Amino acid sequence: METIRKAVLPVAGWGTRFLPATKAMPKEMFPIIDKPVIQFIVEELLEAGIENVIFVTGRHKRPIEHHFDINTDLERHLEEAGKEEILKNIREISHMANPIYVRQKEQLGLGHAVLTAEPVVGYEPFLVSLGDIILENGSGALKDMIDIYNRFGKSVIALFEVAPEEVSKYGIAKVKEIEDGVYIIEDLVEKPLPEEAPSNLAIVGRYIFTPKIFDKLKETKPGKGGEIQLTDAMRLLLEEEAIYAYKFSGKVYDTGNPLDYLKTVFEFALKREDIAEELTQFIQEALSKRTQSIDIP
Ligand code: UTP
């Protein structure tokens, strides 16, 4: 059985929930304090042993390429300024992954983005990580998923529990538990009404696929908004192959919309020794003034 060597990171989406900020800047480059979201996701992959990272990008996503490239001018400047520590960090980022960039010329959906990577992935199993979701101890979750793949040789998706009233925001799975924390998928429903949801286990944005998914993506008809949905292709795959699921029990940080992004930034900031104390004080003062009206420009 082939091992998982490659990961596909679809980062070509419009990011409409974050406009106008995403008009010229990819949401994947938004900082969690001082590190862009996408770097957390690449680090997670590298820690899990994946070396080849295939970014599916679009024309407004160039900053992602620059971030993982060498910036000799900046390195020279930092060297001359004697800023050794940050220089070391900047050099590490330039050598962190073996990035490959594929263009999705039209944003025809997540499924279409994954299919765009087919010529680079080839006929082997691969991982998909969404570019705007950070997982707590994400590399541990990926390693567990890879273990499940190595045992069963079939696709594996990560699920997490959501509140029943939240199911309509996610792809939801009907599952059967086969052992502690490991499930087999029986059906998948995209954004169901709470009363129609088969469970409260939502797809979290980490997947391992056998290459058969590419055939299924080619057969998938465009759905809502003319987009080719990955969930629809997974339903077709289910007719032919088993899909396993791994239940992720850590925290999920969705950075693709303003409120959850802000929550993520605060939570990470409160974990940072150099920031936490002053930030806490600031929040307390801000809360105590909350009843006063504040004009925000
Ligand atoms: P999202 O559902 O978050 O879509 O896509 P989006 O376009 O980025 O954001 P909104 O909904 O308009 O605010 C999930 C992932 O799939 C990628 C996105 O970049 C994101 O990482 N994606 C989506 C593509 O690469 N191509 C697409 O055509 C659509």
Q: What is the pLDDT of residue 181?
A: 84
> 280: helix, coil or strand?
helix
CA atoms of 167 and 163, how far apart (whole Å): 7
Q: Is 17 in the pocket of ligand 1 (CB under 6 A)?
A: yes
Q: What is the pLDDT of residue 154?
A: 97
Q: What is the pLDDT of residue 291?
A: 61
177, 284: one domain: no
Mean pLDDT, range 65-83, rounded to an integer: 94
pTM value is 0.93
Give residue 146's domain range: 6-256
Q: What is the pLDDT of residue 292?
A: 63
296, 203: one domain: no
CA atoms of 39 and 260, how far apart (whole Å): 18
Q: Is 15 in the pocket of ligand 1 (CB under 6 A)?
A: yes
Q: By percentage, how much of the chain surpasses pLDDT 90?
A: 89
Asked whether residue 114 is domain-assigned, the answer is yes
Whether residue 70 is predicted with pLDDT greater than 70 in this model: the reply is yes
Cβ-contact 29, 64 below 8 angstroms: yes
Pick the last residue of a domain from 223, 240, 256.
256
**How confident is the model over 191-205, as pLDDT tens digits?**
899 999 999 999 999
Mean pLDDT, range 242-249, rounded to an integer: 96
Q: What is the pLDDT of residue 137?
A: 93
Amino acid identity at 117: A
The DSSP result for 226-277, as a single string, is G---HHHHHHHHHTTS-EEEEE--S-EEE-SSHHHHHHHHHHHHTT-HHHHH
75, 159: one domain: yes
Asked whether residue 1 is domain-assigned, the answer is no
Mean pLDDT, range 27-46, rounded to an integer: 96
Of 53, 91, 87, which is closest to residue 70 (Cα–Cα)?
Answer: 91
Number of domains comprising the chain: 2
**How confident is the model over 269-297, as pLDDT tens digits?**
999 999 999 999 998 898 888 766 556 66
**Domain at 244, CATH number:** 3.90.550.10
* Most informative mutation of 9, 108, 110 for ligand 1 (most atoms within 8 A of CB): 110
Q: What separation in Å is there between the alpha carbon of 255 and the centre of ligand 1?
A: 12
Asked whether residue 125 is domain-assigned, the answer is yes
Q: What separation in Å is there between the alpha carbon of 27 and the centre of ligand 1?
A: 10
157, 184: one domain: yes
Q: What separation in Å is there between the alpha carbon of 131 and the centre of ligand 1?
A: 8
Asked whether residue 285 is domain-assigned, the answer is yes
CA atoms of 43 and 68, how far apart (whole Å): 12
Average pLDDT over the chain reads: 94
Q: Is 205 in the pocket of ligand 1 (CB under 6 A)?
A: no
Q: What separation in Å is there between the alpha carbon of 109 and the centre of ligand 1?
A: 7
Of 192, 189, 200, which is closest to residue 159 (Cα–Cα)?
Answer: 200
Q: Which residues sit opposite 103 in a β-bridge?
A: 57
225, 267: one domain: no
Pick the last residue of a domain from 241, 256, 271.
256
**CA 22 to ligand 1: nearest atom:** 13
**CA 12 to ligand 1: nearest atom:** 25
